[in-house]
């Protein structure tokens, strides 16, 4: 029976879970932590670091350390969000070949799915070490408000990491699943999820038969803890500039230290009323004089700096209830998810809006992964769970197309339960027209170009005929992952029409294949590396023990030919082992470990008898 793991691929932290004996287990990483920083770095020697290892060296290797890649995934190069990240990140982003974004790590630009894949591969490994076998299938979560491009890119990331992403589920839905699973409750629940990079609100009806029906969802995929940190950074930078006339933003290492300090201060302010931010030697004045940054930030000041961000989330919540035709009183439970909901001002704002205290008892950092794990088990072969979970999610944004005058014609409205489809007929408008172009987009604006372009679909190879004589039926489909596909059929001949997708920011199939190959190659190399390291450690400790006994053994047996011969052989074994270590030859090293063990046994025997 193949286990399906659940991964919460967060902006700041990622978390993995799996169901064992009917209960979801959050799997700790090697360091014993249940969440892993979604950070990736490349060392000077070209070694890839992920998670805590990447985080630990972020300040000294700021330019080659990536954080918050999720804020960039599925976005176009010329989007305002990408511009914002470009101007504030300590790593460099460059334009990719399809109007997409790449991150420069050392000498190589990496697509965002590749970066996310490195994090996913790490989560896969954490699960494999825990389970003791390979894992190939996963349920991965995304913010509910993610559009098709962002979902598709996340799926690509899974493939590059060697994972078959059997389902993508929305983070608040996953949280609701973890919250309601097995509790036999029948109620309307609001999930407010403010994480490191994104904000989501979903209203669900949880039924006692294990049905989780999303009624309405809304969000902002560029609103989260990062923005709170940015306000503190701005405050520090502006203050420093006023005092010393120096712009700290120009120095990447200083910027990374500021970011670190800002986040730390923010977190501390959730439990204390004021913090001192202290960054000695933050920059040189240019006259060879080191300058220090030292400032006190109070909770009140911090709340003032970020008040509008909290207000924005509340506004989105109000909108969601309106869309669902619900009043605040209809919501029976409020569940808080995401690290940012630990900020007292956030919790208070939500409690005030709903007029009730949020439910306690869900772990804000782990609940999404737990839900993903439960869904994974239900979709997998954990038959005891299959009948117990039914997720009915919705599409977060209206799907439509561009029509005459640059207007947006909705085809599938937001909050429609998925999977769903809609067909539409097109007729040719010119004589002998052989192609039709369809621009598919997602969003709520009447102006087509204000919405997110998913793709230009070109129907080609139409029959040559007078205008209006060819009728084509186009089907727009959204699957359970929230991913859009478009098919077309010639109504008269019943022939499927081919559709070419252009102008998306995604990877081409060729690029994706290359990246999957590179991912596999890396996994093999890493396994080999780890095996080598393990053998090397074994060998070194054996050598150490043998050398410790050498003198004693020499005293006992060194007088005989047989004894001298044994000692020579022991020397040779050690030399050969050292040579194998130097060559990084794992296979030879494995043989040498056996030989060393035999030598040690013999040595111990001699010493014991003496």
Q: Which residues bind Mg ion (CB under 5 A)?
A: 10, 195
Using only the alpha carbons of the chain, give its radius of gyration.
29
196 in contact with ligand ATP (CB under 6 A) = yes
Choice between 63 and 260, CB closer to ligand ATP = 260
Among Mg ion, ligand ATP, none, what does residue 263 contact (CB within 5–8 Å per kind)? ligand ATP
| Part of the chain binding ligand ATP (CB under 6 A), chosen from 112-120, 205-213, 339-347, 414-422 | 339-347
Interacting residues with ligand ATP between 50 and 79 (CB under 6 A): 70
380 in contact with ligand ATP (CB under 6 A) = no
Among 34, 55, 155, 266, binds ligand ATP (CB under 6 A): 266
100 in contact with ligand ATP (CB under 6 A) = no
**CA angle 366–368–371, rounded 5-degree value:** 110
Choice between 220 and 382, CB closer to Mg ion = 220
Of all residues in the shown chain, the one whose CB is closest to Mg ion is 195
Strands 484-490 and 471-478: antiparallel
Among Mg ion, ligand ATP, none, what does residue 6 contact (CB within 5–8 Å per kind)? none
Among 338, 380, 443, 506, binds ligand ATP (CB under 6 A): 338
Among 3, 4, 11, 146, binds ligand ATP (CB under 6 A): 11
Number of CB atoms found within 10 A of residue 563's CB: 16
d(CA 389, CA 188): 17
Which residue, among 297, 240, 237, has the nearest Cα to 267 in the 3D structure?
A: 297
Q: Please state the closest distance from residue 154 (CB atom) to ligand ATP, in A.
A: 11
Among ligand ATP, Mg ion, none, what does residue 230 contact (CB within 5–8 Å per kind)? none
Number of residues counted as binding ligand ATP (CB under 6 A) = 21
Give the chain's count of helices (H) and strands (E): 14, 28
Task: Give the residue numbers marked as catalytic.
Answer: 8, 70, 171, 193
158 in contact with ligand ATP (CB under 6 A) = no
- Beta strand residue intervals within 479-565, DSSP E: 484-490, 496-497, 499-502
Among 5, 340, 418, 596, binds ligand ATP (CB under 6 A): 340
Which residue, among 330, 482, 321, has the nearest Cα to 416 in the 3D structure?
A: 482
Q: Please state the closest distance from residue 374 (CB atom) to Mg ion, in A.
A: 16
Number of CB atoms found within 10 A of residue 559's CB: 10
Which residue, among 133, 137, 110, has the nearest Cα to 50 in the 3D structure?
A: 110
Give 348-366 as a DSSP string: HHHHHHHTSPPBP-S-TTT
Interacting residues with ligand ATP between 446 and 475 (CB under 6 A): none
Among Mg ion, ligand ATP, none, what does residue 153 contact (CB within 5–8 Å per kind)? none
d(CA 133, CA 125): 10
CA atoms within 13 A on the CB side of 256: 17
Contact residues for ligand ATP, defined by CB under 6 A: 10-13, 70, 195-198, 224-225, 263, 266-267, 270, 338-340, 342-343, 365
């Amino acid at each position: 029976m193949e286990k399906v793991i659940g991964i919460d691929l967060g902006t700041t932290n990622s978390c993995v879970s799996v169901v064992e004996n009917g209960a979801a287990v959050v799997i700790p990483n090697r360091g014993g932590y249940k969440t892993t920083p979604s950070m990736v770095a490349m060392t000077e020697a070209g070694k890839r670091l992920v998670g805590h290892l990447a985080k630990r060296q972020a300040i000294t290797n700021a330019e080659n350390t990536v954080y918050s890649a999720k804020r960039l995934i599925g976005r176009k190069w010329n989007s305002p969000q990408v511009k914002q990240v470009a101007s504030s990140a300590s790593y460099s982003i460059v334009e990719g070949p399809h109007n997409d974004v790449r991150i420069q790590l050392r000498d190589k630009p990496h697509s965002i799915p590749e970066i996310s894949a490195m994090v996913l591969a790490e989560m896969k490994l954490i699960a494999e070490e825990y389970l003791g076998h390979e894992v190939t299938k996963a349920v991965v979560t995304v913010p509910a408000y993610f559009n098709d491009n962002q979902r598709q890119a996340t799926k690509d990331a899974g493939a590059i990491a060697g994972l078959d992403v059997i389902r993508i589920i929305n983070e608040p839905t996953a949280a609701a699943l973890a919250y309601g699973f097995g509790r036999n409750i029948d109620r309307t629940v609001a999930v407010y999820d403010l994480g490191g990079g994104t904000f989501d609100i979903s209203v669900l009806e949880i039924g006692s038969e294990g049905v989780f029906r999303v009624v309405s969802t809304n969000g902002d995929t560029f609103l989260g803890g990062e923005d709170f940190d940015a306000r503190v950074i701005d405050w520090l930078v502006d203050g420093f500039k006023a005092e010393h006339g120096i712009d700290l933003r120009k120095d990447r290492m200083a910027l990374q230290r500021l970011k670190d300090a800002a986040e730390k201060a923010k977190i501390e302010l959730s439990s204390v009323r004021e913090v001192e931010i202290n960054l000695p030697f933050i920059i040189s004045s240019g006259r060879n004089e080191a300058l220090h940054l030292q400032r006190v930030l109070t909770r009140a000041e911090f709340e003032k700096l970020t008040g509008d961000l909290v207000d924005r989330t509340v506004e989105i919540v109000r909108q969601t209830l309106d869309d669902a035709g619900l009043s605040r009183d209809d919501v029976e439970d409020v569940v808080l998810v995401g690290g940012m909901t630990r900020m007292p001002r956030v919790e208070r704002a939500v409690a005030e809006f709903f007029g009730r205290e949020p439910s306690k008892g869900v772990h804000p950092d782990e609940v999404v992964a737990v839900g993903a794990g439960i869904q994974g088990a239900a979709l997998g072969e954990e038959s005891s769970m299959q009948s117990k979970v039914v997720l009915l999610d919705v599409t977060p944004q209206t799907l439509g197309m561009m029509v005459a005058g640059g207007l947006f014609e909705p085809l599938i409205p937001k909050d429609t339960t998925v999977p769903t489809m809609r067909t539409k007929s097109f007729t040719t408008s010119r004589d002998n027209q052989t192609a039709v172009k369809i621009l598919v987009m997602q969003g709520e604006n009447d102006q087509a170009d204000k919405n997110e372009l998913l793709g230009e679909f070109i129907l080609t190879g139409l029959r040559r005929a007078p205008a209006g004589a060819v009728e084509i039926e186009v089907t727009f489909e959204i699957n359970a992952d929230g991913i859009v596909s478009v098919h077309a059929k010639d109504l008269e001949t019943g022939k499927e029409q081919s559709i070419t997708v252009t102008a998306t920011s995604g990877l081409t199939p060729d690029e994706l294949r290359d990246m999957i190959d590179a991912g596999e190659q890396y996994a093999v190399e890493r396994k080999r590396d780890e095996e080598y390291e393990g053998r090397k450690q074994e060998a070194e400790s054996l050598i150490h023990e043998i050398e410790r006994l050498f003198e004693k053994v020499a005293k006992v047996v060194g007088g005989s030919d047989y004894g001298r011969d044994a000692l020579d052989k022991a020397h040779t074994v050690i030399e050969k082992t050292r040579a194998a270590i130097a060559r990084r030859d794992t296979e030879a090293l494995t043989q040498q470990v056996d030989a060393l063990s035999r030598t040690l046994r013999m040595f111990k025997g001699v010493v014991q008898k003496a």
